[in-house]
């Protein structure tokens, strides 16, 4: 039997149909089966997870009031801190630099999941420090797509997406800086939600680009995305950018009729795979049939999004990663005879960082350097404002959300784009805008396309108004109902059968 979604698992445990221990043991057994094929996990918590599950079962039997996710197994991306008081794992960011780091505290989003009763069964692989879009830039090796293990699952939340797509868990936490939740969701046939910047606390998320980073979720359906957001959203005094806005109503919103709402479709003829273009047209028709007004929209500055993003994000990464010097934080090499402090810095960072991280640090440092700051970083920030203005203009015209592709292509083969960083970066063309503008966005599975004889999932994306996740989820649910995507990956079927 296939792994049920997160809320369905919670219902089964609450009703006594299965125990928390049974649900967790099932997830752990699947990890053992699929890990050799997809390499989705950095640490697996066999003993700790079962102990927590047994505790949930004992407390339920004693009549104790339980949280909404009591006993539900989840996976956490390994750039999100998980404290040692509950679990024995590391927080490595899939980097040699933090290969032995054990966090003394948990991220706020994780604390909220634990308070709701969820049980962490594993930490997920990722592109190093969340820098990458294919899952190939990891010190622990590449993650593979459960739909075709010769292909990427997308990135940087590669392990989180693969874990859900392989039927291990019904929900995994990821992070989205330029599409790192939505892109792997599209490539793995999942729902990927990036909330508004500030909706979910970033406390305990290891910083990549602080003005862009946001914790998000990967699930099988919109109902689970809404339920997970209801748990992890909310103000946090530990995060100065955390919003105090109300967080109620996400789950109830998805049951409301979307009729009468309006979306603006942004078409990108010639720049996407034909199967994705077809999926976008199907999505627009589905919403129209549901009574949603479907209008034409334009985001004229989207063409500059990748260029702006790959100046702003590396600049912030250059600053954030400066702390990993082998002295204050991170792996330190031993000094050789005749070497000094500068040699320690250089060799520690050279040996501990991967090529993609080095590339982005160098690019960001150059963009911030004297004489180039205004020409590169300053201009990118002004372009960021123009991109936000484009979205604002669409929303001012009455649209509740923008409908557009999530990715330009289905999942590509591992290694196919490693030698061409620009080709890899262009996979983010449709996702970076939401991060630059600080807006919520969700990718919804929109069908299967055949590539080289293999059927692969593709997604479409809705970008909403700031802090209007309720409206975004309502439209996503209408889209999900109309598209009727219920396919599971071959690996999930094989493992569950």
Would residue 19 show up in a list of annotated catalytic residues for this protein? no
Q: How far is residue 145's CA from residue 129's CA, in Å, rounded to a whole number?
A: 20
Sort strands 401-405 and 262-265 into parallel, antiparallel or unpaired. parallel
Of 241, 295, 495, 242, nearest in space to 403 by CA: 295
Residue that has been written with the tokens 């890990």 in this structure: 35
CA-atom Rg of the chain in angstroms: 21
Per-residue b or e along 296-324, where b marks 16 or more CB atoms closer than 10 Å to that residue's CB: ebebebbebbbebbbbbbbbbbbbbbeeb
Options 95, 160, 180, 230, the catalytic residue: 180
DSSP string, 282-295: HHHHHHHHTT-EEE
Q: How far is residue 114's CA from residue 41's CA, in Å, rounded to a whole number?
A: 20
CA quadruple 464, 470, 474, 479: dihedral positive or negative? positive
Burial of 332 (0-12, 13-18, 19+ CB in 10 A): middle
Burial of 463 (0-12, 13-18, 19+ CB in 10 A): buried
Q: How far is residue 251's CA from residue 233's CA, in Å, rounded to a whole number?
A: 13
Q: How far is residue 478's CA from residue 222's CA, in Å, rounded to a whole number?
A: 10
Contacts of 200 (CB under 8 A, 6+ apart): 109, 214, 215, 216, 229, 232, 233, 234
Options 19, 138, 156, 157, the catalytic residue: 156
Residue that has been written with the tokens 């400066």 in this structure: 322
The kind and range of the H/E element at 393 are helix 379-396
447 phi/psi in degrees, rounded to 5: 130, -175
Q: How far is residue 480's CA from residue 271's CA, in Å, rounded to a whole number?
A: 24
Would residue 230 show up in a list of annotated catalytic residues for this protein? no
Options 77, 112, 123, 417, the catalytic residue: 77
Per-residue b or e along 247-268, where b marks 16 or more CB atoms closer than 10 Å to that residue's CB: beebbebbeeebeebbbbbbbb
Contact 226, 259 (CB under 8 A): no
- What's the longest Cα–Cα distance across the chain? 74
Q: Report the helix count and the strand count for the chain, using DSSP H and E.
A: 17, 11
Would residue 180 show up in a list of annotated catalytic residues for this protein? yes
Find residue 447's DSSP bridge partners. 458
Residue that has been written with the tokens 């979306």 in this structure: 263
CB atoms within 10 A of CB 274: 8
Catalytic residues: 77, 156, 180
């Amino acid at each position: 039997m296939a792994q049920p979604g997160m809320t369905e698992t919670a219902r089964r445990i609450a009703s006594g149909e299965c125990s928390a221990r049974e649900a967790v043991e099932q997830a752990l057994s699947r990890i053992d089966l699929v890990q050799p094929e997809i390499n989705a996990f950095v640490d697996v918590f066999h003993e700790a997870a079962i102990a927590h599950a047994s505790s949930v079962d004992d407390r339920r039997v004693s009549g104790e009031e339980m949280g909404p996710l009591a006993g539900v197994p989840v996976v956490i991306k390994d750039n999100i801190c998980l404290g040692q008081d509950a679990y024995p794992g590391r927080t490595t960011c899939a980097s040699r630099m933090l290969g032995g780091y054990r966090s003394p505290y948990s991220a706020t989003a994780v604390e909220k999941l634990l308070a709701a009763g969820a049980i962490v069964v594993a930490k997920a692989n990722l592109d190093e420090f969340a820098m990458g879009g294919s899952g190939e830039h990891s010190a622990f090796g590449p993650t593979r797509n459960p739909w075709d293990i010769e292909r990427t699952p997308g990135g940087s939340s590669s392990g989180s997406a693969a874990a859900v797509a392989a039927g291990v868990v019904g929900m995994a936490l990821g992070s989205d800086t330029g599409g790192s939740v939505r892109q792997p969701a599209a490539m793995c046939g999942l729902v990927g939600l990036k909330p508004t910047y500030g909706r979910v606390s970033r406390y305990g998320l290891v910083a990549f680009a602080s003005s862009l980073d946001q914790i998000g979720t990967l699930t099988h359906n919109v109902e689970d995305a809404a339920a997970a957001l209801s748990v992890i959203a909310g103000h946090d005094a530990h995060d100065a950018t955390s919003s105090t806005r109300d967080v109620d109503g996400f789950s109830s919103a998805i049951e409301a009729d979307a009729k009468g709402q309006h979306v603006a479709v942004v078409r990108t003829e010639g720049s996407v795979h034909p199967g994705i273009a077809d999926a976008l047209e199907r999505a627009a028709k589905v919403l129209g049939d549901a009574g949603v007004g479907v209008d034409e929209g334009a985001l004229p500055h989207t063409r500059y999004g990748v260029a702006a993003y790959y100046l702003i994000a590396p600049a912030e990464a250059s600053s954030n990663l400066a702390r990993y010097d082998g002295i204050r934080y991170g792996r330190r090499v031993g000094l050789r005879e005749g070497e000094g402090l500068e040699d320690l810095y250089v060799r520690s960072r050279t040996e501990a960082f991967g090529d993609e991280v080095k590339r982005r640090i160098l690019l960001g440092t150059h963009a911030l350097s004297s004489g180039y700051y205004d020409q590169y970083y300053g201009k990118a920030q002004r372009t960021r404002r123009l991109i936000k203005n484009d979205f604002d203009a669409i929303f001012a015209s009455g649209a509740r959300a923008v409908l557009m592709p999530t990715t330009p292509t289905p999942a590509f083969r591992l290694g196919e784009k490693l030698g061409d960083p620009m080709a890899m970066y262009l996979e983010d063309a449709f996702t970076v805008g939401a991060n630059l503008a600080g807006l919520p966005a969700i990718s919804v599975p929109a069908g299967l396309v055949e590539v080289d004889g293999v059927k692969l999932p593709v997604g479409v994306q809705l970008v909403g108004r700031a802090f209007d996740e309720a409206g975004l989820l309502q439209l996503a649910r209408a889209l999900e109902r109309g598209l009727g995507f219920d396919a599971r990956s071959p690996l999930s079927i094989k493992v569950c059968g």
